[in-house]
């Protein structure tokens, strides 16, 4: 019963965040202008990471990095040396143990199948690959959660211990749960909490 309820809630969450107009082809063959993503002004934002360049000097081991995406915000933990640990839905680790194949660029098909099959990976990528050309918000969640951040070295060690295949749930075990567990000691997703509270 709980599995069925969780499945339905996850699907409702996905549907609530899909812009149907983004699934349609552009009018007249031209790309439509997108509205800029809303940003909270109190957040510290770093410019987009440059391919092949070093990370901005203000990243410290254990920092929480946020990248705004179209429908949600993606989260990771900075490990140092231009590396970020982050949790993504991914079916491939369930199908093969070939680490080179798994580390390749994750496709939308891999992501969707990961969500549907409830499989994910905590993986380590470069800052550039993690950001995917977007600006990075640095430790912005520190102002939104009630707990204090753990020391940076402990945060990074927690993230490193979790690298590998894990179960996935859009509502109970997503990238935000991963980073809040690592940084604050308790898994929580403010994004899913907001959506679930909106249904009350």
Residues marked active site are found at: 175
Token code pair at residue 94: 């369930």
Q: Which of 72, 75, 86, 76 is nearest to 38 (CA)?
A: 72
Q: Which of 91, 77, 196 is nearest to 130 (CA)?
A: 77
Q: Which of 176, 181, 178, 159 is nearest to 80 (CA)?
A: 159
Distance CA 180, CA 62 (A): 11
Q: Which of 58, 63, 65, 33 is nearest to 135 (CA)?
A: 65
Note whether 75 and 140 are within 8 A (CB).
Answer: no
**Chain centre to alpha carbon of residue 63:** 14
């Amino acid at each position: 019963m709980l599995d069925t309820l969780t499945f339905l809630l996850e699907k409702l969450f996905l549907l609530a965040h899909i812009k149907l107009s983004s699934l349609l082809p552009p009018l007249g063959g031209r790309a439509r202008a997108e509205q800029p993503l809303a940003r909270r002004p109190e957040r510290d934002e770093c410019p987009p990471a440059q391919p092949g360049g070093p990370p901005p000097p203000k990243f410290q081991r254990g920092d929480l990095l946020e990248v705004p995406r179209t429908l949600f915000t993606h989260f990771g933990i900075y490990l140092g040396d231009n590396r970020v640990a982050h949790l993504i839905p991914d079916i491939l680790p369930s199908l093969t143990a070939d680490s080179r194949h798994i580390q390749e660029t994750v496709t939308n098909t891999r992501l969707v199948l990961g969500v549907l099959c409830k499989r994910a990976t905590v993986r380590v990528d470069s800052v550039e690959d993690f950001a995917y050309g977007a600006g990075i918000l640095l430790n912005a969640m520190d102002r939104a959660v009630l707990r204090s951040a753990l020391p940076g070295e402990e945060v990074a060690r927690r993230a490193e211990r979790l690298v590998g295949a894990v179960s996935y749930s859009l509502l109970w075990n997503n990238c935000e749960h991963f980073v809040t567990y690592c940084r604050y000691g308790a898994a929580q997703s403010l994004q899913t909490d907001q959506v679930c509270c909106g249904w009350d």
